[in-house]
Chains A and B, each alone.
Chain A
Amino acid sequence: MRNDTITRRGFLGLTAAAGASSLLSGCGGTASDGKRHVEVVTYKQEAVKIFERLQDEFNATHDDIVVSITCPNNATTVMRTRFIREDYPDIIGIGGDISFSNFIDAGILADVSDFEGLGHVKPAYLDILETLEFVPTEGTFGVPYMANAAGVLYNRQMFRGHGWDIPTTWQEFIDLCETIRAAGILPLYFGFKDTWTTLAPWNALAIELAPSDICQQVNAGRTTFTEHYRETAEKIQALLAYGEDGPFAYGYNDACTAFARGESAMYTIGSYAVPQILSVNPEMDIDSFVMPGNDSSDGQVLNSGVDLQFCVMEACPDKEAAYEVLSFLLEHDNMQTYVDDQNAVPCTTDDFDLPDMLDGMRDYIEEGRMADFQDHHYPSEMDVAGQIQTFLIEGDVDAFLAKFDADWTRYNRDIIQKVQDYYATQA
C-alpha cells in the first residue's frame, strides 16, 4: 500500500515534497573534517522529529562518525531524482513494498547479511523481505525496523457500552455488523473515494483467503488470480452493505473524522490512521482486531508488513560506519521512542511496550502469526486500488477478476519473463 498511497495521497505534491524544516545536506564517505559521514534518507516524514533527535544523540556520542538523517515528504520522488543523478545516500529508509523489489532488481542495494543486528530481527519480517525479491536473490537487502498492522479499528468505549464481542470468524464478523446495525449504529466506515483505502480491507481478507505467495505463483505461471481472489472479492463486496451510504463519495479524511466522531463503530484501516483520528478526537479510546476473513477460528492471521526498513546502498563507501549507525538505531530504547510516537510495531525480538490501540493484535504480533500485505507485490502503475474501487462500484466479480489477470500479465511482463527465465535455468 505504501508506494501507492504516496502517489495518491501525496497530491499536494501533485508532486512531492522536499524536506521538512531545514534539511542538513550530507554526503557519504569521509569529508574534509576527517570524520566519516553517513547520510540516511527515510521516507517517514511523520517521524522527522524522532529522527532529528536520534541523529543529534548519535552525533553527540560518536566522535568519528557524523550522521545526517532526513525525512523528506514524498521521498519516492526525492530518492528517485537522487538516483538519477547518481547522488546516492548511504542508507535509505523505505517500506517493504514493490519499490524495494525494484531496487533489488536494479542492483542498487547492498547485501547486508553480514550485519550482526539482523540476529535479533524477527524471522517473520526477514522472510517477508525475501518474498519481495522478484527472483530468489542471494543476500539480505534490508534491515526491518518497524512494521504496521492493518485490520479493523473499533471504538472501544462503544463496544464496551453495548457489550459487543470481538469476532474471530467471518460469520461472527457479519453477525456483529448486523447487531451493530440493529442498535442503530453504522457498523463500518470506508472512505473509498480515496482508492487506496480499498486496499486495507482487501489485504486483510486476501491474506486469509488466498495463498500468501500468490503473486510469485502467478508470475511463475502456476496459477491465476481468478482462481484465488474470487472469495476475497465477494467478501469485500459483502462488506459494502454495512458501511456508509455512497462510500465512493467520502475519502480517507472524511472516514477518519466520521469514525472519530462516533459515526461508525468500526473502521477497516491500519494502525497508521490512528494519529489522524486522534487529531479530531484526542479523547477517543481506539483498539483494533484482526479482520477474520474465514470461518476457522484458529486460521486468522494478522496483516502486517515492513513499514520501515533500512537499506544500505551499493554505492555506500563506508559500510562499517553505516552498520554502526544501524546498530544505534536498532538499540532498544531508540526503537521504543519510535514505537511510542508512531504507534508502530517493532521488528526485533526485544521486549517493547506496545501502543494501546494494538491490544487486540498483541498475541498475533508476539507469536509472529502474520502475513504481508499482498499489495506490496502489486505494481503501483497497475492501480489495483482503482480497479477494486471500479469493481465495488460496478459489482461485476467476473469482469474484475478477468481484468486483474489480464492487467497483471500486461504490467508485469518483464518480471514474468525474468521469473520464467530463472526457473528455466534452475530446471
Chain B
Amino acid sequence: MPEKVKERFNWPITIALIIGLVTVLFPLYMTVVIAFKQPSEMTNSIQGILSLPAHWSLQNFRDAMVVTDFWRSLFHSLLITGVTMVLTILIHSTAGYAIGRNMGDNPRFRLAYYYITSGMFVPFAILMMPLVKQTAQLHIDNLFGVILCYLVFYMPMNVLLYTGYLKNIPLALEEAARVDGASTWTTYWQIIFPLMKPMHATVAVLTALGTWNDVMTPLVIMSGGGMNTLPLAQLTFQTQFGTNYNLAFASYLLALLPILIFYLFAQKQIINGVVNGAVK
C-alpha cells in the first residue's frame, strides 16, 4: 500500500496543540529571560519580569558552570542516572515478568505483587533515617548506596508498569516458543524483553527523570561525601537569606538539556515498539 506513505496530517489537532503550548512556552520564556538578566534587573512589576534582558550575555551560564563545577557534577549525575536506568530496566522488567505471568493463578506471586507495589506508599521521610544508618553500617554511604536505594524506590512503580504492560502481550507468543523447547529464560530474553521496548523506554524516562532531579537521596546517603550531583550543586544558589535566581535559572536550563535530549530519543522508542513488532 504505497499510497499510505503519503500521510494526511490532522491539522485541527496540530493547531490546538500548538495553541496549548502557551502553557509551556510562557513559563519557559520567563525562565530564559531571567537566566540572562542581572540581579539588579529583577523587579516586582509585570513589565519588568517580561522585558528582555538589557544585555544578552552568556556570563550567567559561565558563572553558573563555575559555581556548580558543572562538568564534574554532570558526570556524577549522568553516572548515577545512567547506571540506575540500566539496572532498573533489567531487574524490574524481570520482576514484572515473573509476577505478571503468575499472579493470575498463583497467590504467592499475587502476594509478592501487592507487597512490592505497596512499597510505593511508604513516605520517604520515615525510611530516611533508618536508611542512612543502614547504608553507613554496610559502608555503602556512597554512589553505590544511592543507586541501590533508587533500585528499591522505583521498583514498586516499575513493577506496576511492567505487569500492566504484560497484560497486553498475548501469552500465545511465549507458549509457541516453549513448544519449540526454549527455556523460560530464553523465552523471556528473546521474545518478551524485546517486546516490552515501549515500556522500557517509558520506565527509562520516568526513572531517569526522578533520579536526575532528586536532591534528597544523594544528600542524605552521601552527606559529606564530597560528591556533588547537579541538583546538589545547584543548591549553592540558595543561601539562607538570599537566592541568586539569575544564576540558578541559567544553571537549571543547562541541567534541563541532557534529560530533554534523552527524552526525545526515548520517546521514539516508545512509539516504534510493539506495533512494528510481533503482535499481529
Contact = CB atoms under 8 A, between A and B. Distances in A.
A279 to B, nearest CB: 4
Given A258-B44, A279-B244, A17 B215 contact: yes
A82 B135 CA distance: 12
Interface stretch (B19-27, B78-86, B235-243): B235-243
Interface stretch (A66-74, A330-338, A375-383): A66-74
A261 B43 contact: yes
B240 A5 contact: yes
Contact of B216 (A15, A72, A257, A279): A15
Contacts of A9: 238, 240-241
B222 interface: yes
Contacts, number: 134
Interface string A200-239: 0000000000000000000000000000000000000000
B253 interface: no
A17 B40 contact: no
A297 interface: no
Nearest to B39: A279
- Highest count of chain A CB atoms <10 Å: which of B133, B218, B220: B220
A18 B228 contact: yes
Contact of A16 (B39, B226, B235, B245): B235
B218 A18 contact: yes
A273 interface: yes
Nearest to B232: A18
B93 interface: no
A41 B42 contact: no
Interface in B230-280: 232-245
A13 B239 CA distance: 11
B136 A17 contact: no
A21 B65 CA distance: 11
B238 A17 contact: yes
Interface string B15-49: 00000000000000000000000011011100000
Nearest to A250: B44
B240 A18 contact: no
A57 interface: no
B236 A17 contact: yes
Interface string A335-352: 000000000000000000
A25 B224 contact: yes
A87 B136 CA distance: 9
Contacts of B234: 12
Contact of B239 (A15, A45, A87, A258): A45
B265 to A, nearest CB: 28
B242 A22 contact: no
Contacts of A422: none
Interface string A252-272: 111011100101000000001
Interface residues of A, number: 50
Contacts of B72: 22
B240 A46 contact: yes
Interface string B198-236: 000000000000000001101110111110100011111
A23 interface: yes
Contacts of A24: 226
A224 B224 CA distance: 42
Contacts of A21: 67, 69, 228, 233, 236
- Highest count of chain B CB atoms <10 Å: which of A25, A46, A73, A78: A73
Contact of A19 (B42, B132, B215, B228): B228
B199 to A, nearest CB: 29
Contacts of B128: 81
Contact of B240 (A10, A20, A82, A87): A10
Interface in A68-105: 70, 72-74, 77-78, 81-82, 84-87
A272 B219 contact: no
A139 B265 CA distance: 63
A19 B232 CA distance: 7
A15 B141 CA distance: 18
Given A18-B222, A257-B42, A85 B67 contact: no
Interface of A: 5-6, 9-10, 12-25, 41, 45-46, 70, 72-74, 77-78, 81-82, 84-87, 250, 252-254, 256-258, 261, 263, 272-273, 275-276, 279-282
17 contacts: A10-B240, A13-B215, A16-B235, A18-B222, A18-B228, A22-B228, A72-B224, A81-B129, A81-B132, A81-B219, A85-B133, A85-B136, A85-B141, A253-B243, A257-B43, A275-B242, A276-B242
Interface of B: 39-40, 42-44, 67, 69, 72, 128-129, 132-133, 136, 141, 215-216, 218-220, 222-226, 228, 232-245
User: What 3 A-B pairs are tightest by C-beta distance, nearest first?
Assistant: A17-B235, A276-B242, A85-B136
